């Protein structure tokens, strides 16, 4: 039974993230559908761009400063900011203040510290802010969940995504062996150390295949592109889907 | 005295290839990958189990980190205190700025004793400074007595793991090298030796015992150096260390200056954190502590060489200095998905794995190809930070060091690409224009699978490419909601 706590009092901003916006628009669309179904008023501030994580993690933290500035300016006034990406939320919460400080901008760092606690990864927002685990989804497939490293170890989302998935009607959720091991994506690591990255991804893909799942789900499309890219090349016939798309899925509008 | 045909390759790994190149070679070694996966997964599970049974683990980690930080922030004071207490206890303290100075001090002491061999306790610091090679050059054989180090030495190998240096070798390989090499350097292995662990250990024990009883000089490192009591501490499993630390009449310990702990009480958290993190044991079998010289008991001449070798440079970096908390437990190696697949040699140093990826460029600088590549030898998955008993935020340090490498302007094409990306991403209009490239490609590709993209070989060699959409989210929102 779906339990909704309409939070129309909240001004919720969607941070689509630049990767999703450009490459995986179905994920932010699903996020909007889901949040509106749960009674939220969702806005998409068009001035948003990117969290700057790729720049920071490649060694160009200085270049990321304008992006941190922009993030604070665009999202500073909202009650809650929701992003369907553990990695980008991790970057905001864990790195933005550091990027500002490294550039000697204490003012920006303290603005970051004001907004960062209101920035939530999707499963955190649903479980902690809205207080729901049954979001009224329907997805009659065998699914295995990969907890991405940044969701797991930076954000500590814990089993929130699993709580949400378990409540999905019709789902056959199977445990992924070695779930907490990195898939090997790692941003530019996937290119700079492609051999190691592929070796890690191949092991992850093998674990996914072992479960007999039709669908591998995660909270980050970048990791899914890597795992899915390997599964695709192997012709494994396993789909990769973002958590938001499964949670948005209904009988009327299935994912 | 015969000397070992050790180290065809110097452990400085001069001219080492960059990490990705060395990693490619290591990945192709399937036997090593098997050994590494088994070993790291076993020790990972053991560590997880013994850590989980300590409810106050988190506060122990904080206490350990605090003790180290206290020592590091007032390092000069504690080192002076350590020197004073050691001297008062009858030890002789030497200061070494770098590897050459430290090696010269040890060689000179050994020469003064008129010996042509020393026995050694497993020590990272002496590997870092290549003491064995320096002694060999002076005509003095250095016998490693830690079982795994002995194996590495007999192979003429380089260690590939901090705690289990022969992790890349399996039992059969070890039996073969015992049969082949032991006779050349001392008591031979029994001819009917099998690869049973107990038989291998027995062969090593007999081989080493002869050396313990004969040697007049021992060389060690130390896990901790307590400033207020002037006590050095060695933590080990086999007891071979204790043989070296107690039997020979002269003991020389090479100790990195970051090993100092302010007080005796600081050992309490450390001796709980270290064994559980490193071997996955509640307590290690042998902890040897010595405070200078005692009449008729143990070594009668005790030397301590306090080694800088780049550490004060690391200390000057306010973010990077947390790496000096490291107690060399190797938990970060064992949980690292990259190390698990490449092994230690790809890191081009005696310090492999996540901490090596940080410490090597910190200690050696980022001039060489391998040191420039090490900060990138990580997917930043964070497993190392979670496992570290002294809470070293390794991912944070890697990102810092990437900044240092990028600022050197090493990768011109990358730097140009990153600046271009920053320019595009700092303005939504520019981003929208750039996105048109993707959606145009998306319309061209349609529903086909993308297998090859020129210039993207590093991705497409083993992975399909996600098909770009025909419409970005931004465009969809504008069309549907018309608000932007
Ligand atoms: S960095 Fe931490 S986990 Fe790694 S060896 Fe040092 S103390 Fe152990």
Per-residue pLDDT for A1 more than 50? no
pLDDT of residue B79: 98
pLDDT of residue A2: 52
The response to whether residue B328 sits with its C-beta less than 6 Å from ligand 1 reads: yes
Give the CATH number of domain B54-150+192-311; options: 3.40.50.10420, 1.20.140.10, 3.30.9.10, 3.30.70.20.
3.40.50.10420
H or E stretch including A88?
A: helix A86-90
Domain ranges of chain A: 11-129, 142-247
The minimum-distance atom of ligand 1 relative to the CA of B277 is 8
Domain ranges of chain B: 54-150+192-311, 412-481
The response to whether residue B327 sits with its C-beta less than 6 Å from ligand 1 reads: yes
Percent of chain B with pLDDT over 90: 73
Q: Which two tokens stand for residue A75?
A: 């999202």
User: Using one digit for the tens of pLDDT, what is the confidence trace for A73-131?
Assistant: 999 999 999 999 999 999 999 999 999 999 999 999 999 999 999 999 999 999 999 99
Whose structure tokens read 């900044």? Answer: B403
B294-300, long-range: CB < 8 A, 24+ apart: B298/B245, B298/B246, B298/B251, B299/B218, B299/B245, B299/B246, B299/B248, B299/B249, B299/B250, B299/B251, B300/B249, B300/B250
Per-residue pLDDT for B233 more than 80? yes
Per-residue pLDDT for B8 more than 50? no
Mean pLDDT across chain B: 91
> What letter does residue B18 receive in the DSSP assignment?
P
Residue of B276, B355, B391 best suited for mutating to test ligand 1, as the one with most atoms within 8 Å of CB: B355
User: Using one digit for the tens of pLDDT, what is the confidence trace for B397-422?
Assistant: 999 999 999 988 766 777 888 888 88
ipTM of the complex: 0.94
User: What residues in A contact B483, CB-CB < 8 Å?
Assistant: 43-44, 46
Per-residue pLDDT for B443 more than 90? no
pLDDT of residue B417: 82
Using alpha carbons only, how large is chain A's radius of gyration in Å?
Answer: 18
pLDDT of residue B2: 36
pLDDT band at A6 (very low <50, low <70, confident <90, very high): low
Alpha carbon of A252 to ligand 1 centroid (Å): 52
The response to whether residue B182 sits with its C-beta less than 6 Å from ligand 1 reads: no
pLDDT band at A5 (very low <50, low <70, confident <90, very high): low
pLDDT band at B465 (very low <50, low <70, confident <90, very high): confident
Residue B294: phi and psi, rounded to 5, are -125, 130
pLDDT of residue B415: 81
Q: Closest Cα to atom 4, ligand 1: which residue?
A: B332
**DSSP per residue, B385-403:** HHH-TT---HHHHHHHHHH
Sheet (strand B260-261) strand order: B260-261, B224-226, B231-236, B286-290
Cα B125 from Cα B256, distance rounded (Å): 7
Of the partner residues B380, B428, B451, the one whose CB lies closest to the CB of residue A186: B380
Which chain A residue has its CA at the smallest distance from B400's CA? Answer: A59
The minimum-distance atom of ligand 1 relative to the CA of B328 is 5
Of the partner residues A58, A60, A184, the one whose CB lies closest to the CB of residue B379: A184
Of the partner residues B379, B405, B425, the one whose CB lies closest to the CB of residue A49: B425
According to the 3-state scheme, what is the secondary structure of B52-119?
A: HCCCCHHHHHHHHHHHHHHHHHCHHHHHHHHHHHHHHCCCEEEEECCHHHHHHHHHHHHHHCCCCEEE
User: What residues in B contact A190, CB-CB < 8 Å?
Assistant: 458-459
Q: Which two tokens stand for residue A189?
A: 């690591």
What is the CATH class of A142-247? Answer: alpha beta
Report yes or no: B353 and B330 within 8 Å, Cβ to Cβ: yes
* pTM of the entire predicted model: 0.92
Q: How large is the average pLDDT for residues B23-30?
A: 91
Per-residue pLDDT for B12 more than 70? no
pLDDT of residue B425: 85
Cα B409 from Cα A70, distance rounded (Å): 26
pLDDT of residue B446: 74
Q: Which of B354, B382, B466 to probe by mutation at the A interface, max A CB count within 10 Å? A: B466
User: Using one digit for the tens of pLDDT, what is the confidence trace for B87-145?
Assistant: 999 999 999 999 999 999 999 999 999 999 999 999 999 999 999 999 999 999 999 99
Of the partner residues A20, A55, A197, the one whose CB lies closest to the CB of residue B418: A55
pLDDT of residue B169: 82
pLDDT band at B449 (very low <50, low <70, confident <90, very high): confident
The response to whether residue B355 sits with its C-beta less than 6 Å from ligand 1 reads: yes
The reply to whether residue A57 touches residue B465, judged by beta carbons under 8 angstroms, is: no
Residue of B277, B344, B360, B388 best suited for mutating to test ligand 1, as the one with most atoms within 8 Å of CB: B388
pLDDT of residue A163: 98
The response to whether residue B334 sits with its C-beta less than 6 Å from ligand 1 reads: no
Which chain B residue has its CA at the smallest distance from A99's CA? Answer: B400
Q: Closest Cα to atom 7, ligand 1: which residue?
A: B326
Residue of B269, B389, B396 best suited for mutating to test ligand 1, as the one with most atoms within 8 Å of CB: B389
Span between the terminal Cα atoms of chain A, in Å: 20
B254 strand-pairing partners = B305
pLDDT of residue B246: 95
Per-residue pLDDT for B16 more than 80? no
pLDDT of residue A158: 96
Report yes or no: A12 and A43 within 8 Å, Cβ to Cβ: yes
Per-residue pLDDT for B5 more than 60? no
Task: Write the burial class of residue B311 (CB in 10 Å: 0-12 exposed, 13-18 middle, 19+ buried).
Answer: buried
Per-residue pLDDT for B365 more than 60? yes
pLDDT of residue B181: 94
Per-residue pLDDT for A149 more than 80? yes
Distances (CA, A) of A233 to A224, B70, B99, B452, B462: 14, 53, 50, 11, 7
Which chain A residue has its CA at the smallest distance from B405's CA? Answer: A59
Q: Closest Cα to atom 2, ligand 1: which residue?
A: B388
pLDDT of residue B32: 84
Per-residue pLDDT for B338 more than 80? yes
Where is pLDDT greater, at B482 or A43? A43
Q: Are strands A80-83 and A119-121 parallel, antiparallel or unpaired?
A: parallel
The reply to whether residue B459 touches residue A190, judged by beta carbons under 8 angstroms, is: yes
User: What residues in A contact B462, CB-CB < 8 Å?
Assistant: 194, 198, 201-202, 229-230, 233
Cα A163 from Cα A173, distance rounded (Å): 11
pLDDT of residue B410: 61
Per-residue pLDDT for A235 more than 80? yes
Q: Closest Cα to atom 3, ligand 1: which residue?
A: B388
Where is pLDDT greater, at B8 or A143? A143
User: What residues in B contact A201, CB-CB < 8 Å?
Assistant: 462-463
Q: How large is the average pLDDT for residues B349-362?
A: 94
HSE on the CB side for A197, CA within 13 Å? 28
Of the partner residues A57, A98, A196, the one whose CB lies closest to the CB of residue B338: A196
User: Using one digit for the tens of pLDDT, what is the confidence trace for B367-389?
Assistant: 888 999 999 999 999 999 999 99
**DSSP per residue, B350-385:** SS-HHHHHHHHHHHH-S-SHHHHHGGGS-----HHH
User: What residues in A contact B41, CB-CB < 8 Å?
Assistant: none
Distances (CA, A) of B63 to A153, B227, B261: 22, 17, 12
Q: How large is the average pLDDT for residues A208-224?
A: 97
Percent of chain A with pLDDT over 90: 94
pLDDT band at B10 (very low <50, low <70, confident <90, very high): very low
Q: Closest Cα to atom 6, ligand 1: which residue?
A: B326
> What letter does residue B295 receive in the DSSP assignment?
T
* B29-43, B289-303, B309-323, range with the lowest pLDDT: B29-43
Residue of B332, B352, B393 best suited for mutating to test ligand 1, as the one with most atoms within 8 Å of CB: B332
User: Using one digit for the tens of pLDDT, what is the confidence trace for B136-160?
Assistant: 999 999 999 999 899 989 988 777 7
């Amino acid at each position: 039974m779906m339990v909704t706590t309409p939070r129309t009092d909240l001004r919720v901003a969607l941070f689509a993230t630049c990767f999703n916006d450009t490459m995986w628009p179905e994920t932010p669309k699903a996020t909007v559908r889901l949040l509106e179904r749960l009674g939220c008023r969702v806005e998409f501030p068009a001035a948003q761009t990117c969290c700057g994580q790729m720049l920071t993690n490649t060694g160009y933290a200085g270049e990321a400063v304008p992006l941190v500035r922009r993030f604070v300016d665009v999202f500073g006034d909202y009650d809650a900011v929701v992003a369907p990406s553990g990695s980008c939320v991790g970057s905001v919460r864990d790195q933005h203040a550091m990027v500002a400080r490294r550039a000697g901008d204490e003012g920006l760092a303290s603005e970051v510290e004001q907004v960062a606690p209101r920035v939530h990864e999707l499963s955190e927002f649903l479980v902690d802010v809205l207080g729901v685990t049954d979001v009224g989804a329907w997805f009659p497939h065998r699914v295995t969940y990969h907890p991405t490293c940044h969701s797991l170890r930076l954000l500590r989302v814990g089993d929130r995504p699993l709580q949400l998935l378990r409540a999905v009607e019709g789902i056959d959720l199977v445990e992924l062996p070695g779930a907490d091991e990195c898939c090997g994506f790692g941003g530019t690591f996937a290119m700079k150390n492609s051999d190691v990255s592929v070796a890690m991804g191949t092991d992850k893909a093998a674990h996914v295949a072992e479960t007999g799942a039709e669908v591998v789900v995660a909270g980050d499309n970048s990791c899914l592109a890597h795992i899915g890219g390997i599964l695709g090349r192997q012709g494994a016939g396993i789909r990769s889907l973002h958590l938001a798309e499964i949670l948005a899925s209904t009988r009327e509008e299935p994912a | 005295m015969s000397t070992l045909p050790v180290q065809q390759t110097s452990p400085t790994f001069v001219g080492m290839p960059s990490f990705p190149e060395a990693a490619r070679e290591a990945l192709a070694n399937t036997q090593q990958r098997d050994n590494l996966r088994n070993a790291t997964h076993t020790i990972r599970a053991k560590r997880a189990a013994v850590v989980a049974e300590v409810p106050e683990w988190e506060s122990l980690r904080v206490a350990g980190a605090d003790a180290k930080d206290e020592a590091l922030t007032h390092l000069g004071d504690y080192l002076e205190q350590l020197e004073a207490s050691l001297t008062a206890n009858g030890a002789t303290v030497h200061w070494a700025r770098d590897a050459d100075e430290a090696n010269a001090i040890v060689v000179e002491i050994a020469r003064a004793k008129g010996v042509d061999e020393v026995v050694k306790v497993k020590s990272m610091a002496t590997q870092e400074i290549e003491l064995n090679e320096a002694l060999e050059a002076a005509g003095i054989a250095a016998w490693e007595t830690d079982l795994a180090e002995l194996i590495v030495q007999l192979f003429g190998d380089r260690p590939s793991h901090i705690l289990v240096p022969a992790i890349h070798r399996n039992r059969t390989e070890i039996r073969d090298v015992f049969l082949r090499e032991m006779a050349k350097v001392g008591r031979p292995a029994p001819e009917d030796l099998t690869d049973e662990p107990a038989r291998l250990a027995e062969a090593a024990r007999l081989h080493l015992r002869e050396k313990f009883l004969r040697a007049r000089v021992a060389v060690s490192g130390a896990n901790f150096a307590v400033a207020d009591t002037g006590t050095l501490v060695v933590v080990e499993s086999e007891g071979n260390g204790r043989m070296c630390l107690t039997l020979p009449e002269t003991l020389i310990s090479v100790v990195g200056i970051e090993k100092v702990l302010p007080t005796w009480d600081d050992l309490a958290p450390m001796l709980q954190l270290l064994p559980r993190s490193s071997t996955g044991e509640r307590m290690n079998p042998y902890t040897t502590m010595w405070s200078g010289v005692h009449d008729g008991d143990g070594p009668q001449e005790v030397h301590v060489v306090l080694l800088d070798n780049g550490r004060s440079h690391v200390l000057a970096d306010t973010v990077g200095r947390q790496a000096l908390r490291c107690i060399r437990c190797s938990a970060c190696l064992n949980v690292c998905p990259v190390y698990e697949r490449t092994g230690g040699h790809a890191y081009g140093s005696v310090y492999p794995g996540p901490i090596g990826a940080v410490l090597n460029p910190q200690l050696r600088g980022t001039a060489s190809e391998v040191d420039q590549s090490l900060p990138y030898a990580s997917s930043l998955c964070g497993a190392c930070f979670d496992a570290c008993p002294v809470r070293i935020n390794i991912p944070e340090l890697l990102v810092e060091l990437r900044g240092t490498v990028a600022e050197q302007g090493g990768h011109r094409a990358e730097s140009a690409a990153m600046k271009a990306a920053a320019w595009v991403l700092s303005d939504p209009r520019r981003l929208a224009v750039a996105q048109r490239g993707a959606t145009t490609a998306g319309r061209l590709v349609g529903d086909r699978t993308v297998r090859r993209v020129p210039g993207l070989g590093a991705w497409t060699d083993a992975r399909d490419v996600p098909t770009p959409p025909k419409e970005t989210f931004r465009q969809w929102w504008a069309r549907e909601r018309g608000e932007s």
